[in-house]
A and B are shown apart, each in its own frame.
Chain A
Amino acid sequence: QSALTQPRSVSGSPGQSVTISCTGTSSNVGGYNYVSWYQQHPGKAPKLMIYDVNKRPSGVPDRFSGSKSGNTASLTISGLQAEDEADYFCFSYGGSYASSIFFGGGTRLTVL
């Protein structure tokens, strides 16, 4: 199935903000408010950071925020910390007829 497009890497210094984009189509990201973001540290299972475009599960710091404009969703991390260095993946619902969850290739965040 189609994948969502994410930048391969982004970087930022401690305390700065970074934004990771996730571009799909009107059949997935643009058509539904079901975009999720996952953080994955090396050798660890993924962790849900954002769901329904901009909602945070309990325990996720409010430094993490999500948004969407048209066919592009974004994850913004403000006040960067060393522990934020990880891979980030976006997932999007594609509708009941698509029978698929669309996903991005992942973005490596480096904290300089």
Chain B
Amino acid sequence: EVQLLESGRGMVQPGGSLRLSCVASGFTFNKFAMSWVRQAPGKGLEWVSAITGSGGGTYYADSVKGRFTISRDQSKNTLYLQMNSLRAEDTALYYCAKGLRFGNYGDYDYWGQGTLVTVSS
């Protein structure tokens, strides 16, 4: 059974940093792209970042480019999102999602339950 378990939720001040983690199980981790998708309270889904199965390709939404860094540790079956220079508009529920294939094409067949990030002074 595929499981994605996010952690790292918290409240930080504007300009602060936070690292999210997502531990994956139930599939061969290095064969699939992974992604972070967020949802602000009462709003729609927003794709944030993705990484290919090997980790050799990383992709970012314009809204987070230069501030967020996605990475994966194949030995730990863990996906990360390092978030720096956080802004109020980054406040959202952050989902970890598994891609259907090695590359990133926006098709995610399994999702975690989400971890809440609040940026506020």
Instruction: Select which of A57, A87, A91, A105 is within 8 A of B106 by beta carbon.
Output: A91
CA gap between A97 and B63 in the complex, in Å: 17
Contact present for A101 and B45 (CB under 8 Å): no
Contact with A along B90-106 (1 / 0, CB 8 A): 00000101001000111
With a cutoff of 8 Å between Cβ atoms, the chain A residues found around residue B46 in the complex are 103
Could you give 30 example pairs across A and B, Cβ below 8 Å? A1-B63, A34-B106, A36-B105, A36-B106, A38-B45, A38-B108, A40-B45, A45-B95, A45-B111, A45-B112, A45-B114, A46-B37, A46-B95, A46-B108, A48-B100, A48-B107, A48-B108, A51-B107, A91-B106, A93-B106, A99-B60, A100-B59, A101-B35, A101-B50, A101-B59, A101-B104, A102-B106, A103-B44, A103-B46, A103-B106
Residues of chain A touching chain B, judged by Cβ–Cβ distance below 8 Å, are 1, 34, 36, 38, 40, 45-48, 51-52, 57, 87, 89, 91-93, 99-106
